Amino acid sequence: MTAQPQHSAPDAYDPTRLTATLLKLADRHDLDVGEAEAAFGAIMDGAVPPEHIAAFLMALRVKGETRDELLGAVTALRARMHPVPAMPEDTLDVCGTGGDHYGTLNVSTAVAFVLAGLGVPVAKHGNRAVSSRSGASDVLTALGVPLSPGAETHAAWMRDYRAIFLAAPHHHPAMRHAAAVRKMLALPTLFNLVGPLVNPAGVKRQLIGVFSPRWLEPIVDVLRTLGSERVWAVCGQPRDGKTGIDEITLAGPTLAVALEQGQTCQFVIEPEMAGLAYAPVSAIKGKDAHHNAATLDALLHGAAGPYRDTVLLNAACALHIAGRVSILRNGHIDPTALQESVAQAAFSLDSGAALAVLNGLRSSSAMHTPET
């Protein structure tokens, strides 16, 4: 069984306290970490009515959310999550915030298979679609991959396949209290940013795609505060788009903020550095879960094109975060090293190693039933 979270019993819901918080936000005053943690804690303990949750999230959005508010939210949710124990120290997560409205194919999910095929331990945290058509959990379900089956099975799959996939509802049941409101709002809220920062496997290495460049530094700073070792937060800047994209993109430059050896640095990733051709975002446009799953399956069977190249570019950078390669020189991308890393990622696909991970997990699906 999954370990249970440890936190004290919640206080009774106090409408007066939340009203004071809403008034503070309406006056465009920021919450400190403690205030944000208390408010998000009350929401996730089921103590706040949906209309008040919606008002709170929109008040934050209109004011403009802050680093301290994000840290408070993450701290509250980590205190209530069901953790996954006994994962390798160098386990990695690749995850996007969503909320970029591009509706692309599932890049980070494909990257997880590529990395696992190279022996990198991956604990991929994801959810069903909230503001997009197909989230990671939707695609994995369509592929026949079991989600969050329990601690003993997690350990076995990590040993055998170097990959586990963690469905947020199994590990963050407290999030259910905000789920309907998030679906109703159908726009990015602070919860989009919280998700990638609360991996239940306790990973300390992450590649995080972010929908807005303004959040790159705050996300890295929050994770550094919480003990992460190596993190890249990235936001693509498509030439054919109006907003950022939560992937390292072929459609233009990607802005990155990295935590490396306790220090942060900023740099830009261009697809040309990796020896990859420009491709517009429309070239990796996704559809529903079954379409995206079929396209990912085709990728693992050798399909070429912009989707493959996008996955390779993201995987190549993730290999650096995993400590398998070194592609930064004096705080900037070394194109030669990046191209060598792309070649390593391509080997995972071309050798069938990434596909073997998928097939191994599929074969296990008949023997394990996910927890409910």
Closest CA to 74 of 259, 201, 199, 235: 199
pLDDT value for 369: 47
Q: What dihedral angle (degrees, nearest 10) is formed by the CA atoms of 57, 58, 61, 64?
A: -90
247 carries a ligand binding annotation: yes
pLDDT value for 129: 53
> Among all chains, which residue has been given the structure tokens 């997690």?
154
Over its C-alpha atoms, the chain yields an Rg (Å, rounded) of: 20
- Cα(169)–Cα(148) distance, rounded to whole angstroms? 9
DSSP class per residue in 124-188: EEE---SSSS--HHHHHHHHT------HHHHHHHHHHHSEEEEEHHHH-GGGHHHHHHHHHH-S-
326 carries a ligand binding annotation: no
54 carries a ligand binding annotation: no
43-48 contact pairs (CB < 8 A, 24+): 43/177, 43/178, 44/76, 44/77, 44/80, 44/174, 44/175, 44/177, 44/178, 45/10, 45/80, 45/174, 45/177, 46/174, 46/177, 47/10, 47/11, 47/12, 47/13, 48/13, 48/18, 48/177
- Cα(135)–Cα(106) distance, rounded to whole angstroms? 7
| 15-79 homologous superfamily | Transferase, Pyrimidine Nucleoside Phosphorylase; Chain C (1.20.970.10)
pLDDT value for 365: 65
Contact 292, 106 (CB under 8 A): yes
- 44's CB contacts (< 8 A; 6+ apart) are 76, 77, 80, 174, 175, 177, 178
203 carries a ligand binding annotation: no
- Cα(372)–Cα(89) distance, rounded to whole angstroms? 28
166: β partners: 125
- Cα(111)–Cα(308) distance, rounded to whole angstroms? 10
309 carries a ligand binding annotation: no
Where in the sequence of the chain do the CATH 1.20.970.10 domains occur?
15-79
292 carries a ligand binding annotation: no
Where in the sequence of the chain do the CATH 3.40.1030.10 domains occur?
92-171+178-359
330 carries a ligand binding annotation: no
201 carries a ligand binding annotation: no
231: β partners: 206, 259
What are the CA-CA distances from residue 118 to residues 34, 88, 206, 262, 307 (Å)? 42, 15, 17, 26, 19
3-state secondary structure 225-281: HCCCCEEEEEEECCCCCCCCECCCCCCCCEEEEEEECCEEEEEEECHHHHCCCCCCH
93 carries a ligand binding annotation: no
136 carries a ligand binding annotation: yes
285 carries a ligand binding annotation: no
pLDDT value for 126: 80
Contact 193, 184 (CB under 8 A): no
- Cα(56)–Cα(39) distance, rounded to whole angstroms? 9
pLDDT value for 372: 37
125 carries a ligand binding annotation: yes
- pTM for this structure? 0.92
pLDDT value for 14: 72
130 carries a ligand binding annotation: yes
82 carries a ligand binding annotation: no
Tokens of 124: 């991929």
107 carries a ligand binding annotation: yes
* CATH of the structural domain 92-171+178-359, one choice from 1.10.10.60, 3.30.1230.10, 3.40.1030.10, 3.10.105.10: 3.40.1030.10
Q: What dihedral angle (degrees, nearest 10) is formed by the CA atoms of 260, 354, 91, 1?
A: 160
> Among all chains, which residue has been given the structure tokens 């903020």?
257
> Among all chains, which residue has been given the structure tokens 């390779």?
312
364 carries a ligand binding annotation: no
174 carries a ligand binding annotation: no
Furthest CA-CA distance within the chain: 61
**Mean pLDDT (10-residue bins), the chain, 372 residues:** 46 74 96 96 94 96 97 97 94 91 93 98 80 72 86 92 92 94 90 94 97 97 98 96 93 98 96 98 95 97 98 98 97 97 98 98 68 40
pLDDT value for 301: 98
